[in-house]
Structure 1
Amino acid sequence: MTSHSNAIVWLDIPVSNLPRAISFYQAVLNFDLVSTQSNPDMATLMKQGSTSGLSLLSIPNVTPTPNAMLPYFNCEGRLEQAVSIAKLEGGKVLQAIHSMEPFGHRAVLQDVDGNRFAVHSS
């Protein structure tokens, strides 16, 4: 059995406007997203040295939904900054920063397409 250092291995997130979603997630997560050459309707995020990542997909018949899942993204100590940036980039705070003792702190946000996600820091 393979061991991963990250709880999330990969996510596909449906979006309605790929450039807007790329801008939002780059700013909030402080990662670089790249458009894939083979598919102009997809952008991939993967931090160097990480075993996990995500894809933003702008494809027909796959639409953003606010309650489908709740992925947690590690903010590496930038939790307050990530929440502030999310609001500036057009996202919403659904649950303010709060304790999850003994597992650190999180905030639940909504992205520009209505997807829910949590930002987390220990």
Structure 2
Amino acid sequence: MANALNWFEIPVSDFARAKVFYEAILQTTIERMDMGPSIMGMFPGGENDVSGALVQDDNCQPSSTGTMVYLNGGEDLAAILARVAPAGGQVVVPKTDIGNGFGFFAHFLDSEGNKVGLHSMA
């Protein structure tokens, strides 16, 4: 097993709002896919990359207390954090040094109320 994680889904209540939020903070395009009763927004990733999706479905509910996914914060997660509030989210743990050369992390609440983590080495 190369990675412990191979796919993730972030539940959303309002797909359009969540899509705008994540496109703004990550400065990327999230492709919408209608999958039966579900709406999914695919995060970009290559063939061998771990990736995931935003998911709006009657069986998915956003949460700030469930499993937390850490997104790649790029070169310096401070840049993404600076875009969280203007996009409709809230930083709940600022950029924090993990120590021992493991980089930095932060947590934010997205537009849907999910608590999501970021990690970067700088």
Same fold (TM over 0.5): yes
Please state how far the C-alpha of 1:37 moved relative to its aligned partner.
4.7
1:60 aligns with 2:58: yes
Segments of structure 2 that go 5 or more residues without pairing to the other structure are none
Please state how far the C-alpha of 1:91 moved relative to its aligned partner.
0.5
Distance in 2 between the 1:106 and 1:50 partners? 24
Partner of 1:119: 118
- Structure 1's consecutive aligned runs of 4 or more residues displaced over 6 angstroms after TM superposition are none
Look up the SS of the partner of 1:88 in the other structure: coil
Percent sequence identity over aligned pairs: 25
Distance in 1 between the 2:48 and 2:87 partners? 25
Distance in 2 between the 1:103 and 1:21 partners? 30
Bigger mean CA offset, 32-41 vs 14-23:
32-41
- For residues 56-103 of structure 1, the C-alpha deviation after alignment (integer angstroms, 9 at most, x for no partner) is 111113211111011111121141110011111011111111101221
- For residues 1-28 of structure 1, the C-alpha deviation after alignment (integer angstroms, 9 at most, x for no partner) is x424xx6421111101101111111122
Segments of structure 1 that go 5 or more residues without pairing to the other structure are none
**Equivalenced residues, count:** 119
| Alignment TM-score, normalising by the size of structure 2 | 0.86
1:31 aligns with 2:34: no
Distance in 2 between the 1:70 and 1:38 partners? 24
RMSD: 1.8
Superposition map of 1:76-91 within 5 A: 76-91=74-89
